Amino acid sequence: MIDAAAPPGGGDGGEPRVMLNADGVAAPIHRSVRLAAEAMHVCLPAIAGHDYSAPFRVGPPIYQVAFEPPADPADRSAELEAWLLAQAFGEIARGIRSALEEAYLFAMIATMGPATIVQFQEMATKARADANAWPNPRLLAELGNLWTAPLIFDAELQSLQKARNCLEHRSGIVEARDCDGGEALELVLPRLAILTMIGGEEREIQVGVPVDGGPVWARRDVMRLRFARGERIRLQLDDVAGVFVGSFHLAADIVARLPKPADPAVA
């Protein structure tokens, strides 16, 4: 995200400048989405198509551990799917968190103005340490003071973490601890809505539904899912893909709200 560069024309007498690249802010989300999406693409068909009726062994020939077939192959398939979803959601949450930390550092540098090298290094070190230490609500609040427009997605971050915890620690079976005192786990997950005008009203485009030929646009949105106690978190592949695409759009929203660099000179 940060490159130290000499001024145009080069030479030893000029002031070095800090060059900011907003692509570095979005990069953690892009990497996480790619990793999670590729893992789901490779592993989900293998989980669905595996023959669970035969025992299998792991380890070198001289000491192996043997596993008998599961009593309920369908349940074992669901457990493996839940484990995979937990890794995917955890990876997306990590990518978003890293992007927010990069966004804070970017914004602090962009708004600091001229500074000495020592002042710049001290500010950058403190900004990184603060962003790394703050919980998500505090980090989002601090960013809200620096962004050009508010961007509220704390609910999506919390939901990704809630879903990951339930999937990883309870095989996706919702328990009381997942429900925040209620009777169900409610998730608010990022997605991308494709919209158009139908009959003079804004409508989301659905597969197989004719449209009027008007303008088409995309907007970051959320999907709201509810799972009662004792129910297993199960997502359709299209829902998971929607989370991935929505996360890409979230990265673009973060970049769009970054303050414009003031071209600070570092003396």
Evaluate whether 224 touches 156 at the Cβ level (below 8 Å): no
At 192 the pLDDT is 80
264 to each of 14, 103, 155, 260, how far by Cα in Å? 13, 17, 35, 11
- Per residue in 105-127, pLDDT tens? 999 999 888 888 899 999 999 99
* 185-214 average pLDDT score: 80
At 6 the pLDDT is 44
pTM of the model: 0.79
Residues in the chain: 267
DSSP the chain: -EEEEPPTT--SSSPPEEEE-THHHHHHHHHHHHHHHHHHHHHHHHHHH--TTS-EEES-TTS-EEEPPPS-HHHHHHHHHHHHHHHHHHHHHHHHHHHHHHHHHHHHHHTT-SB-HHHHHHHHHHHHHHHHHS-HHHHHHHHHTTSSS----HHHHHHHHHHHHHHHHSTTB--GGGTTTSSEEEEEEEEEEEEEEETTEEEE--TT----S--EEEEEEEEEEEEETT-B----HHHHHHHHHHHHHHHHHHHHTSPPP---BB-
Hey, where are the domains in the chain? 2-256
* 58-78 average pLDDT score: 82
Q: Which of 2-16, 58-72, 104-118 has the lowest mean pLDDT?
A: 2-16
* 65-78 average pLDDT score: 83
230's CB contacts (< 8 A; 6+ apart) are: 173, 174
Gap between the Cα atoms of 253 and 107, Å rounded? 14
At 10 the pLDDT is 47
- Greatest mean pLDDT among 99-108, 147-156, 227-236: 99-108
* 170-187 average pLDDT score: 88
Does residue 148 have a pLDDT over 70? yes
Tokens representing 107 are: 């914004």
* 143-170 average pLDDT score: 83
